[in-house]
Chain A
């Protein structure tokens, strides 16, 4: 495989793509805003003295709807892509998906419980009620990942092979319990559940945003520091140990990163599949497998891709809106098959 772009060129291209995606995400929708108006309104939102009293409507749309939605898209895309890189490094397999350790299905289970049974759970403080879904989803993701990690531990070592199998089993178990809750749900809950499972950036609010942004910043700051160790881990666990890497600690940190990142992303935006799988893959195809490049480039590419997918989801059936999970899987699944077929030849 040949490196198509040098890292610096790749970063320039991705940064431009990301800016373009942000602009499109801010400007397009049921009410389209001209470029300069978008820019001016954004500056005014930041409190800068920019002329333009006719921009009140634009400010309202941007401030209340599109800015949080765009931030949500950026954070979800970046975190899912980074979790994908971490997962593929952990399993030393370029086709591993962050859902493998059960974090997505655990989050989906938590969400199903919150949607279907949330109202009948007594004693929930009034202030927490709007976040019930997110909290349950996040906790579900962490819990299932914790169980899978626990099952993978043998004699002080973590066996990723056993974790993989345990993840498959836990995903199936979570699926059956979700099925049970789906069966018990009334029509309104069923609709919410279905749409949540398809993933959407719709209805983003700052309150739902900040926990994800916090996790996102943590993951973005931490993972690249371990880029060299991740490279060594790809050689094999004992090889990495002989190169002086504390492999058990690294694996724990990676699993924590994946659980926090995917848990927070799923809690904020529902199930958005295949971003964590295809983004790191594309980046590797273009720039090679060195994590010092793959990690930051995947974060940028994941954020851009998710925003483009969201803009597409907003526009294709306008004024109605397609759930973004449908868009990403519709692009992602054929791409995955393409990689499989290509890998065989």
Chain B
């Protein structure tokens, strides 16, 4: 669980993010939307401690984020960056095993978790391949498995932050990835995910935060946030919003 109050981040004396109040609650999946440069990644950087907030308070569970020590924090909070630069020929299962570094639960338990995380990310068949031989999308799924393994199973309200986990994935794996993330939240994890695909956000997220120029423009359920006026104002995009014929969530169609 992460709680942020009145969070602001300045970069080069410019305001990159301000007035952020949010709580990532166990069992809930928060989607962050916004155009390029709206401050989505800055928000993620601030929530995980990579960027120092110029103002505001930040708690991980019941303690200020800055008071956590490295391994302790790593057992409660995991971050999936947009892309990783690994140029050594580790096997896929070795990359995922790095997610178990902060833990000492024993080899047997780690092996089970690595297997479960790989399965959740639909990457189990890759486990013996060299990371360098994988495509961009496959690598992204391996890193998803790594951060899932770091917090597995997520029943204790651990927090997972993901930066565009579907950016390089084919349509099927965009869904399997978000299903894995959804599963993590359903087991009790607290999740924030940055997305660009409005329909994926509508389908999988409990709540959405729409950012514009570093400020929250709207937040609420997908039904409340994904309305034509807001999308026009933030993205400059004319859309029709309909109901998904089978699932009932909003379906966004560009006009």
Instruction: Point out residues on A near B: beta carbons under 8 Å.
Output: 1-2, 92-94, 228, 231-232, 234-236, 238-239, 241-246, 284, 288-290
Q: Is B86 a contact of A234 with CB atoms below 8 Å?
A: yes
Q: Output the least CB separation between A224 and chain B (Å).
A: 16
> Does B196 lie at the interface of the complex (its beta carbon under 8 Å from any beta carbon of A)?
no
Proximity string of chain B (65-92) to chain A, C-beta cutoff 8 Å, 1 when within and 0 when not: 0000011111101110100111111110
Give the interface of B toward A (CB within 8 A). Answer: 48, 50, 70-75, 77-79, 81, 84-91, 94-95, 98-99, 101-102, 130, 132, 150
Q: Return 16 A-B CB contacts under 8 Å, by A number.
A: A2-B130, A92-B85, A231-B98, A232-B101, A234-B88, A236-B81, A238-B50, A242-B77, A242-B79, A244-B70, A244-B72, A244-B101, A244-B102, A288-B89, A288-B90, A289-B90
B191 CB → nearest A CB, Å: 15
Tell me, rounded to whole Å, the shortest Cβ–Cβ distance linking A88 to chain B: 9
> Are B84 and A236 touching (Cβ within 8 A)?
yes
- Verify B84–A289 contact, CB threshold 8 A: no
A232-B98, A284-B89, A288-B90 known; A244+B73 contact, CB < 8 A: yes
Question: What is the count of residue pairs linking A and B with beta-carbon distances less than 8 angstroms?
Answer: 70
Asked if A236 contacts B72 (CB within 8 A), the reply is no
Contact A246 B84 (CB under 8 A): no
CB-based contact B102/A239 at 8 Å: no
> Is the Cβ of B81 less than 8 Å from the Cβ of A239?
yes
B94 to chain A, nearest CB (A): 6
CB–CB B88/A289 < 8 A: yes
Shortest beta-carbon distance, A92 to chain B, in Å? Answer: 7
* Measured CA separation A236–B147 after assembly (Å): 14
Expressed in whole angstroms, the Cα–Cα distance for A153 and B133 within the complex equals 34
Closest residue of chain B to A239 (Cβ to Cβ) is B84
Instruction: Report the nearest B residue to A245, measured CB to CB.
Output: B70
Closest chain B residue, CB of each to CB of A247: B70
| Distance to closest chain B CB from A238 (angstroms) | 6
* A92-B87 in contact given A1-B132, A243-B150, A244-B73 (Cβ < 8 Å): yes
A residues near B70, Cβ cutoff 8 Å: 241, 244-246
Neighbouring B residues of A93 by C-beta, 8 Å: 87
- Chain A nearest CB from B128 CB (Å) reads 10
Q: Chain B contacts of A244 at CB under 8 A?
A: 70-75, 101-102
B150's nearest neighbour on chain A, judged by CB, is A243
A269 to chain B, nearest CB (A): 29
Residues of A within 8 A of B99 (CB): 243
Q: Which residues of B contact A234 (CB under 8 A)?
A: 86-88, 90
Indicate if the CB atoms of B74 and A94 lie closer than 8 Å.
no
* Min distance, Cβ B211 to any Cβ of chain A, angstroms: 21
Residue contact B94 to A242, C-beta cutoff 8 Å: no
Chain A residues with CB under 8 A of B85: 92, 236
Chain B residues in 8 Å Cβ range of A1: 89, 130, 132
What's the Cα separation between A243 and B130 when bound, in Å?
21
The one of B79, B81, B101 in contact with A228, judged by C-beta atoms closer than 8 angstroms, is B101
Quote the shortest CB–CB distance from B223 to chain A (angstroms). Answer: 33
| Closest CB in chain B relative to A284 CB, distance in Å | 7
Residues of chain B within 8 A of A94, CB atoms compared: 87-88
Q: How far is the CB of A55 from chain B (nearest CB, A)?
A: 49
Do residues A290 and B90 form an inter-chain contact, with CB atoms below 8 A? yes
Complexed CA–CA distance, A228 and B150 (Å):
15
Enumerate chain B residues within 8 angstroms of A288, measured Cβ to Cβ.
89-91, 94
Q: Please, which residues of chain A bring their CB within 8 A of the CB of B98?
A: 231-232, 235, 243
Q: Give the shortest distance, in Å, between A278 (CB) and chain B (any CB).
A: 16
Across the interface, do A289 and B74 meet the contact criterion of CB distance under 8 Å? no
Q: What are the residues of chain B within 8 A of A2 when measuring CB–CB?
A: 130
**What are the 6 tightest A-B residue pairs by CB atom distance, in nearest-first order?**
A244-B74, A244-B71, A289-B88, A244-B70, A1-B89, A244-B102
Among B72, B78, B101, residue most surrounded by chain A Cβ atoms (within 10 Å): B101
Q: Output the nearest chain A residue to B75 by Cβ-Cβ distance.
A: A244
Question: Using Cβ atoms and an 8 Å threshold, which residues of chain A touch B48?
Answer: 242
Q: How far is the CA of A290 from the CA of B84 in the complex (A)?
A: 18
For residue A285, which residue of chain B has the nearest CB? B89
Contacts A244-B70, A290-B94 given: A284-B88 contact, CB under 8 Å?
yes
**With a CB–CB cut-off of 8 A, which chain A residues contact B90?**
231, 234, 288-290
**Chain A residues positioned under 8 Å from B75 (CB to CB):** 244
Question: With A and B bound together, what is the CA distance between A241 and B102 in angstroms?
Answer: 11
State the Cβ distance, B218 to closest chain A Cβ, in Å: 29
Chain B residue nearest to A89 in the complex (CB)? B88
Starting from the known contacts A231-B90, A242-B74, A242-B78, 19 additional A-B residue pairs (CB-CB under 8 Å) come to A92-B87, A92-B88, A94-B87, A94-B88, A228-B101, A236-B81, A236-B84, A236-B86, A238-B79, A239-B79, A239-B81, A241-B50, A243-B74, A244-B73, A245-B70, A245-B101, A284-B89, A288-B89, A288-B90
